[in-house]
Structure 1
């Protein structure tokens, strides 16, 4: 089967688009995208050409831009171009050159697609690109989702050359006398993809000459296996994850009995920013005592009795109100952690005097307790005093700075302040000679 026939057959098989659609082709000037443009012309599709000049290779970048503009003129299709200050973007957004180029490219392509009334963006990724992606994902440890390689279609983005190998595209260019330009940056191996392209795959091909085609064949099966995998994982997540407001709760015992436990745990906790390196730490919480926690880039995962509680970092600060039920043993906030412990009062035991620990008469409290940010008008009866005091005046006496005030929490019971967290308890909830049961709360600032 010749390349053009394979091209149209693949588009139809994958249901990428129809002849009624208008396509925006991302063309760099290299053999892959130039051949793609010629295939679109030969197949009779409606398309425009778009080119990004990242201004990273001086005169060579200008040469590529002029070449693609001339190509569009020869093919008699609309042409759109843009020039980016890619290096400035890397500095401003603190990303690598590759990430900067990708961000700039797709953002502009999407804007151009909308502005020009095109239906899809088309890129020239081919079979080798997809095989490289699979090997890179395996090396990074992305899990089963990384095994599907580059997908033929994602929303408005389509890749109609994934059926073809690089050699097929080169042969088509030679056969039809199609000129193109070479990007000198494709030769260097300092970029990860180029390293796999020039160093890793050639070594594998020495043992398995058909490695690219073999991986491509496996990708088809991986894509179908991923569907089955996702369906099974979804069933486990529905069974194990319970949502209460902005908090997610996972029962420890149920998770421990789940088979396969580590795989299901990974699929649950990676949604909350957990990395592969952090997963063992999270699993250790299944054996830990209440109050232990693991903090990911976006969430805190806390062991609380028979549950793992998941809260978004700063979620409580945004909400400013956290409800604490009677059996809760740990509460995470954006700037600290509360550990709660109940127990009988022992006559011989001393009462902690540290400001970050509150020892309260449990029977004087009404549940649920409320943890919230202080507000103007709040007052309490400072320990040892019978006269009430506004919190704003108390803060002045304590010489708290504005940031310290802004990050101060108040524990409340039945609309009465129990504790200015980390500072002073209310006299009405102190331990007395009649106290039989204690609630001890420790504040650990983060």
Structure 2
């Protein structure tokens, strides 16, 4: 296996000369074997270990075992502890996604700060099969079905040539001690369920499943090359750049016989997935102005094109708002006028009436900050804005685009959604201010 390891590294140009590699080591059998192989080849390396804090004392035991192993190999050792569950809850993502995001961001930080050239992770040949079925279930398109690349930027995967049984035999031969992760036996994680049930069932149907799978995968990769060529031609024909925006010509898209597939490939890189694709296609025949949101981008249906623009970070922007007319570029016009009307029912969600005596000028127009709270109109209890947005089913990227009108340190109005009950007109109100916002 050692020679196969060396050959795989050479054939795929994973390492050059005296490069120093940061090894991502969990302590499990795959990464323990990878560590031993690197040491046997006399490569320069350091060890990086993430403690995700998900298994209590077991997680701490992994970290301590790796610290001792690093001393045995006389290697640099880098470790970190994450509040993974808190991170997942904050971002509204799964534990697995949160752990992946945290570890790769940290690996890159350690790499750049400590002079490592690349980061090695211990994915093996069986991971390719499991990833295929995970991506198949997610509807990721052909790119998600053609395997795991041995090189992806600064990430290298030197064990993709080896099956799990190859790794187990190597581990036994060299009597390597490794840590057992109890969560690997739990089927609540999709990868484990595929490993424990889907793949064994397919092997039972056909003992040659794995061999046939990788033959089919090679064919699929060749198909992908033809597919990519078509997509590249379509992209040149129907897309353009306008400033920082990416634009898709709808007339040309409509004439493409494979418009659904082409559109998916054009927008997926901006975070728009298969789930929203049909809604976007339906919007093509609707009026202009329809918007869709991904994690970092907004897709807008214009008259003859789809416009994809990056979501700006608005959390530091704020504007003073005074009596009279206030015009703010990119937002619109906010008008504050004292009124004697006794009809305080707002005609639309762009207008509110408030008690003038409760206002502290200048008011502030800003965007959502983490921890923001208000008292929803008609209620007496305090509510987090994050919870309010979730109740309203507002997409996460859109939350940061909703203006908030603030008086002192109190939110007066979530513009277009709900006023704060603390500024409502009461029996003792003597002056009323009408606040209106007009779109840009």
TM-score bucket of the superposed structures, by smaller chain: 0.5 to 0.7
Give 1:249 shift.
Answer: 4.7
Structure having the higher Rg: 1
Which position in structure 1 is the counterpart of 2:28?
A: 30
2:67 & 2:148 partners in 1: Cα distance? 28
Q: What is the CA distance between 1:292 and its match in structure 2?
A: 7.1
Distance between the aligned counterparts of 1:405 and 1:74, measured in 2? 55
Query: Alpha-carbon deviation of 1:403?
Result: 8.2
1:396 pairs, out of 302, 314, 337, with 337
Q: 1:67 to 1:216 in 2, by over 3 A?
A: farther
Which residue of structure 2 lines up, in the alignment, with residue 281 of structure 1? Answer: 279
What CA distance in whole angstroms lies between the structure 2 residues aligned with 1:82 and 1:261?
46
Q: Give the distance between the partners of 2:267 and 2:21, measured in 1 at CA.
A: 39
Q: How does 1:297-308 map to 2 (within 5 A)?
A: 297=294, 298-302=297-301, 304=303, 307-308=304-305
Kindly tell me: are residues 46 and 216 of structure 1, through their superposed partners in 2, closer, same or farther at Cα, counting changes over 3 Å? farther
Shift of 1:224: 4.6
Shift of residue 119, structure 1, vs aligned partner: 1.1
Deviations 1:223-272 (A, max 9, x none): 45434433321221121123444555544442222132221122234355
Give, in angstroms, the shift of residue 121 of structure 1. Answer: 1.0
CA 12–225 in structure 1, closer or farther in 2 if over 3 Å, else same? farther
Q: Mark the runs of 5 or more structure 2 residues left unpaired by the alignment.
A: 316-325, 341-350, 353-362, 368-400, 402-436
- Where do residues 244-323 of structure 1 align in structure 2 (5 Å cutoff)? 244-245=242-243, 249-271=247-269, 273-286=271-284, 288=285, 290-291=287-288, 293=290, 295-297=292-294, 298-302=297-301, 304=303, 307-312=304-309
- Give, in whole Å, the separation in 1 of the partners of 2:112 and 2:245: 38
The answer to whether the 8 A contact 1:130-1:216 is kept is: no
Q: 1:23 to 1:309 in 2, by over 3 A?
A: closer
Deviations 1:75-99 (A, max 9, x none): 2322222223333333444433222
> Are the counterparts in 2 of residues 282 and 301 from structure 1 also a CA contact under 8 Å?
no
Under a length normalisation based on structure 1, what TM-score does the superposition of the two structures give? 0.66
Contact 2:298–2:310 (Cα < 8 Å) also in 1:
yes
Aligned partners of 1:163, 1:21: CA distance in 2, in Å?
21
Please give the per-residue CA displacement for 1:287-324, whole angstroms capped at 9, x wherever unaligned: x36447353444344252xx234254878x99xxxxxx
Is the aligned partner of 1:374 residue 2:327? yes
Q: Which residue of 1 aligns with 2:97?
A: 99
Q: Which residue of 2 aligns with 1:115?
A: 113
Using the size of structure 2 for normalisation, the TM-score is: 0.67
Residue range with higher mean Cα deviation, 132-141 or 394-403 = 394-403
Counting only pairs closer than 5 Å after superposition, residues 40-439 of structure 1 correspond to structure 2 as: 40-245=38-243, 249-271=247-269, 273-286=271-284, 288=285, 290-291=287-288, 293=290, 295-297=292-294, 298-302=297-301, 304=303, 307-312=304-309, 374=327, 395-396=336-337
Tell me the number of residue pairs that the alignment of Structure 1 and Structure 2 aligns: 336
CA distance in 1, matches of 2:24, 2:154: 13
Task: Name the SS of the counterpart of 1:277 in structure 2.
Answer: helix
Question: Structure 1's 398 and 163: CA in aligned 2 closer, same or farther, altered over 3 A?
Answer: farther
Check 1:79–1:264 CA distance in 2 against 1; reply closer, same or farther (3 A cut).
Answer: same
Contact 1:236–1:264 (8 Å) recurs in 2:
yes
Farther-moved stretch of structure 1 (109-118 vs 146-155): 109-118
> Could you say what the CA RMSD is over the residues aligned between the two structures, in angstroms?
3.4
SS in 1 for 2:337: helix
**Residues 83, 265 of structure 1: alpha-carbon distance in 2 compared, 3 angstrom cutoff:** closer
Contact residue 130 and residue 150 of structure 1 kept, 8 A: yes
Moved more, 229-238 or 137-146: 229-238
Deviations 1:347-401 (A, max 9, x none): xxxxxxxxxxxxxxxxxxxxxxxxxx9369xxxxxxxxxxxxxx88x74267966
- Secondary structure, in 3 states, of the residue corresponding to 1:82? strand
- Three-state SS of the structure 2 residue aligned to 1:396 is strand
Residues 168, 261 of structure 1: alpha-carbon distance in 2 compared, 3 angstrom cutoff: same
* Partner-residue secondary structure (3-state), 2:122: coil
Residue deviations 1:329-350 (CA, integer Å, cap 9, x gap): xxxxxxxxxxxxxxxxxxxxxx
